[in-house]
Amino acid sequence: MEIHLSLIKSTALERGRGIPIMAETAREIGSLPVTNVQALAETCNTNEVDDDLQVPERYLSKEPNAEEVIAGGDGNCAIPVIDLDRLVDPRSSSSECAKLVSACRHWGFFQLINHGVPDQVIGNLKSDVVEFFKQPLEDKQECAQQPGNIEGYGQAFVVSEDQKLDWADMLYILVQPTESRDLRFWPTRPPSFRNSVDAYSLEATELGYRLLEFMAKGVGAESASLRGVFEGQPQGMRVNCYPACRQAADRVLGLSPHSDPGGLTLLLQINNDVHGLQVKKDGKWFAVEAMDGAFIVNVGDALEIMSNGKFTSVEHRAVIHPTKERTSVALFFFPSSDTIVGPLLEFTKGDEVRYTSTSYQDYMKQYFAEKLDGKKNLERLRLLEL
State the helix-helix crossing angle for 119-134 and 193-218, rounded to 10 degrees.
Answer: 130
Which of 256/339 has CB closer to ligand AKG?
Answer: 256
The minimum distance between CB 223 and ligand AKG, in angstroms, equals 27
The minimum distance between CB 328 and Fe ion, in angstroms, equals 9
Alpha-helical runs (H) found in the chain: 24-29, 37-46, 84-88, 93-106, 119-134, 137-140, 193-218, 224-230, 301-306, 345-348, 360-373, 377-381
The minimum distance between CB 255 and ligand AKG, in angstroms, equals 5
Q: What share of the chain is helix, strand, coil (3-state, %, to 5)?
A: 35, 20, 45
CA gap 90, 82 in Å, rounded: 15
Cα three-residue angle 304-373-339, rounded to 5 degrees: 35
Which of 109/193 has CB closer to ligand AKG?
Answer: 109
Question: In the 8-state DSSP scheme, what is residue 79?
Answer: S
275 binds, among ligand AKG, Fe ion, none (CB under 5 to 8 A by kind): none
Contacts of 326 (CB under 8 A, 6+ apart): 241, 242, 254, 269, 270, 271, 274, 275, 276, 318, 320
The minimum distance between CB 173 and Fe ion, in angstroms, equals 16
304 binds, among Fe ion, ligand AKG, none (CB under 5 to 8 A by kind): none
238 binds, among ligand AKG, Fe ion, none (CB under 5 to 8 A by kind): ligand AKG
The minimum distance between CB 384 and ligand AKG, in angstroms, equals 27
Cβ pair 354, 386 in contact under 8 A: yes
Which one, of 150, 72, 83, 92, lies nearest residue 116 by Cα? 83
112 binds, among Fe ion, ligand AKG, none (CB under 5 to 8 A by kind): none
The minimum distance between CB 385 and Fe ion, in angstroms, equals 24
The minimum distance between CB 236 and ligand AKG, in angstroms, equals 10
Which of 217/316 has CB closer to ligand AKG?
Answer: 316
The minimum distance between CB 298 and ligand AKG, in angstroms, equals 8
Pairing of the two strands 358-359 and 340-341:
antiparallel
- Which string of x and - marks every residue 296-325 that binds ligand AKG (by CB under 6 A)? --------------------x-x-------
Question: In the 8-state DSSP scheme, what is residue 51?
Answer: G
240 binds, among ligand AKG, Fe ion, none (CB under 5 to 8 A by kind): ligand AKG
Which one, of 188, 200, 226, 209, lies nearest residue 304 by Cα? 226
Site for ligand AKG (CB under 6 A): which residue of 215, 221, 237, 255? 255
- Which string of x and - marks every residue 201-240 that binds ligand AKG (by CB under 6 A)? -------------------------------------x-x
Verify binding: residue 277, ligand AKG, rule CB under 6 A.
yes
The minimum distance between CB 332 and Fe ion, in angstroms, equals 8
Cα three-residue angle 294-289-93, rounded to 5 degrees: 40
Which of 87/129 has CB closer to Fe ion?
Answer: 129
Question: In the 8-state DSSP scheme, what is residue 355?
Answer: B
Which of 219/245 has CB closer to ligand AKG?
Answer: 245
Q: Which residues bind Fe ion (CB under 5 A)?
A: 260
Pairing of the two strands 169-176 and 152-154:
antiparallel
Which of 87/103 has CB closer to Fe ion?
Answer: 103
328 binds, among ligand AKG, Fe ion, none (CB under 5 to 8 A by kind): ligand AKG
**What does residue 217 show for φ and ψ, rounded to 5 degrees?**
-60, -40
- The helix (run of H) or strand (run of E) holding residue 143 is none
Which one, of 165, 319, 323, 317, lies nearest residue 247 by Cα? 323
277 binds, among Fe ion, ligand AKG, none (CB under 5 to 8 A by kind): ligand AKG
Which one, of 193, 197, 194, lies nearest residue 205 by Cα? 197
Total binding residues for ligand AKG by CB under 6 A?
Answer: 12
Binding residues for ligand AKG restricted to 324-343, rule: CB under 6 A:
328, 330
Point out which residues bind ligand AKG (CB under 6 A). Answer: 6, 238, 240, 255, 260, 267, 276-277, 316, 318, 328, 330
